[in-house]
A and B are shown apart, each in its own frame.
Chain A
Amino acid sequence: MRDSYAKFETHGVKLYAVSYDDQETLKEFAQTQNIPYPLLSDLDSAVIERYGILNTEVSKDDAFLYGIPFPGIYVVDESGKVVAKFFHDTYKKRDSPETLIDAALGRILIEEDAPQAEGGDDDIRITAAVHGGKGSVRQGIIRKLVVRFELPEGMHIYGEPVPQGLTATQVVVNGPPGLSTMATEFPATEHLHLQAMGVDLEVWSGTVDIVVPFYARGELASETRALDADSITLEVQVRYQACNENECLLPQTETFNLDLPMDVVDVPRLGPHLGHGQREGNYDSMPAMRRLIRRKLIQNPLGLPKFIWKNIKLELAARKRRKNRGQAG
């Protein structure tokens, strides 16, 4: 978010971040990490609770963890109404800052520094680009492969379903193992009824963006080990057929290769995160951690011993799994 702050400013989108951290922590964090937008302190998680997003999977006996939200983002318009919201099944999946700006503006803005390739011909322009974070790959961070068709006046391409003999537009993304794609996002089609031929068609015309969101799993990019490579290649296959009222061109298949940089993750300078070959925070968050534990301990004195006991049990179970895997392998 920090690195994209200027873009939010350029597009007139304000940015706010809420957590249950104390003000001193946020001040240190903002100073050392150069965070230019407001970090708001919801110390007792009252706003998190009022919004209905308190992480109810974390119990009061989970010591300092209690009070965190299900992480997520709301984007509002000028009147304060939600135009988009972003919540995922796991906290590991996070949206790119550019996705929030797109949601606020209601369009996809492909930037010049996005990895991209062009195809098509004199009439039809096709751009394949990776949108968000200059296309960099990190565990769980969702980037968007955007295939943009720019069609001349009168020409259209097809969405599903298509009658026999015509080809629906299709985008297939192939990447290295550990790359996951999410459901393809198609714009709404226009309905076209050709009376003479008695067929119904679903078409797109003008500028058409087809989006395939994707992210890396731990196999490809992890925060708990150093990266295997500096970059990956994404192979994008685009199949389409363009027609106008009089004639149809032959179905086309085009392949684009996009090189994406792998990105090191920023991790807090705290025990569990250290020594994994990632970019460690330039400030010691141990004092903030002690304050957080003390604060939660006052609210629930038994929470800490219970949490420590739970941790021991979970660690033992993990070791057993590892041992079993070792035997099986």
Chain B
Amino acid sequence: MTIERDESGFDAPAPLGHPARAGLPAGHPTGPAVGERLPDFELPDAQGRLVNFHEDRAGRKAALVFYRSAVW
């Protein structure tokens, strides 16, 4: 893989235009807005236990991170 520097000045081990480097287009929506309640969801964790986000945090503050992948 060719290493290239993008227009923002960042280096990555993939050529420019590669979908792995795809950024957020200007003006693209980014989900729930400040002030809204995050939508409910339930997903399995690494142990296979079903976690319901709002139930699990049990009235505590939380940070919910959406990341690309733990693989690559």
Instruction: Please report A residues at the B interface, Cβ cutoff 8 Å.
Output: 1, 8, 12-21, 23, 25-27, 29-30, 38-42, 47-48, 50-53, 55-59, 62, 64-65, 68-85, 87-92, 100, 104, 139-140, 178, 180, 217-219, 222-225, 268, 270-273, 276, 285, 288-289, 292, 310-311, 314-315, 317-319, 321-322
Residue of B nearest to A281 (CB): B70
Q: Are B17 and A317 in contact (CB-based, < 8 A)?
A: yes
Q: Offer 24 A-B interface pairs, CB within 8 angstroms, sorted by A.
A: A12-B61, A13-B61, A14-B56, A16-B53, A16-B65, A40-B45, A41-B46, A52-B30, A57-B19, A57-B22, A57-B25, A76-B57, A80-B37, A81-B38, A90-B10, A90-B23, A90-B24, A219-B5, A223-B11, A272-B1, A272-B13, A285-B70, A292-B71, A311-B18
Taking the nearest CB of chain A, how far is it from the CB of B37, in angstroms? 5
Contact residues of B between 7 and 31, Cβ < 8 Å to A: 8-26, 28-31
* Chain B residues whose C-beta falls within 8 Å of the C-beta of A26 in the assembled complex: 45-46, 70
For the complex, give the distance between the alpha carbons of A219 and B32 in Å. 35
Q: Are B69 and A21 in contact (CB-based, < 8 A)?
A: yes
* Chain B residues whose C-beta falls within 8 Å of the C-beta of A52 in the assembled complex: 29-32
Lowest 5 A-B CB distances belong to which pairs? A217-B9, A218-B11, A57-B22, A318-B15, A26-B46
Q: Are A268 and B72 in contact (CB-based, < 8 A)?
A: yes
Instruction: Please report B residues at the A interface, Cβ cutoff 8 Å.
Output: 1-6, 8-26, 28-39, 41, 43-48, 51, 53-54, 56-57, 59-72
> When A29-B46, A74-B32, A315-B1 are in contact, do A92 and B64 touch as well, CB less than 8 Å?
no
Taking the nearest CB of chain B, how far is it from the CB of A58, in angstroms? 5
> When A78-B59, A289-B72 are in contact, do A38 and B51 touch as well, CB less than 8 Å?
yes
Q: Are A40 and B43 in contact (CB-based, < 8 A)?
A: yes
Residue of B nearest to A273 (CB): B13
For the complex, give the distance between the alpha carbons of A288 and B70 in Å. 9
Residue of A nearest to B14 (CB): A272
Contact of B13 among A62, A73, A78, A224 (CB under 8 A): A224
* Chain B residues whose C-beta falls within 8 Å of the C-beta of A268 in the assembled complex: 70-72
For the complex, give the distance between the alpha carbons of A225 and B47 in Å. 36
* Chain B residues whose C-beta falls within 8 Å of the C-beta of A50 in the assembled complex: 39, 41
Residue of A nearest to B24 (CB): A70
Taking the nearest CB of chain B, how far is it from the CB of A317, in angstroms? 7
Contact of A15 among B20, B63, B67 (CB under 8 A): B63
For the complex, give the distance between the alpha carbons of A91 and B18 in Å. 13
Residue of A nearest to B43 (CB): A40
Taking the nearest CB of chain B, how far is it from the CB of A102, in angstroms? 11
For the complex, give the distance between the alpha carbons of A268 and B38 in Å. 31
Q: Are A40 and B20 in contact (CB-based, < 8 A)?
A: no
Contact of B66 among A69, A92, A224, A225 (CB under 8 A): A69
Taking the nearest CB of chain A, how far is it from the CB of B52, in angstroms? 10
* Chain B residues whose C-beta falls within 8 Å of the C-beta of A13 in the assembled complex: 60-63
For the complex, give the distance between the alpha carbons of A288 and B69 in Å. 11
Taking the nearest CB of chain B, how far is it from the CB of A69, in angstroms? 4
* Chain B residues whose C-beta falls within 8 Å of the C-beta of A75 in the assembled complex: 61-64
Q: Are A92 and B12 in contact (CB-based, < 8 A)?
A: yes
Taking the nearest CB of chain B, how far is it from the CB of A284, in angstroms? 11
Q: Are A38 and B56 in contact (CB-based, < 8 A)?
A: yes
Residue of B nearest to A99 (CB): B63
Q: Are A314 and B56 in contact (CB-based, < 8 A)?
A: no
* Chain B residues whose C-beta falls within 8 Å of the C-beta of A271 in the assembled complex: 1
Taking the nearest CB of chain A, how far is it from the CB of B59, in angstroms? 5
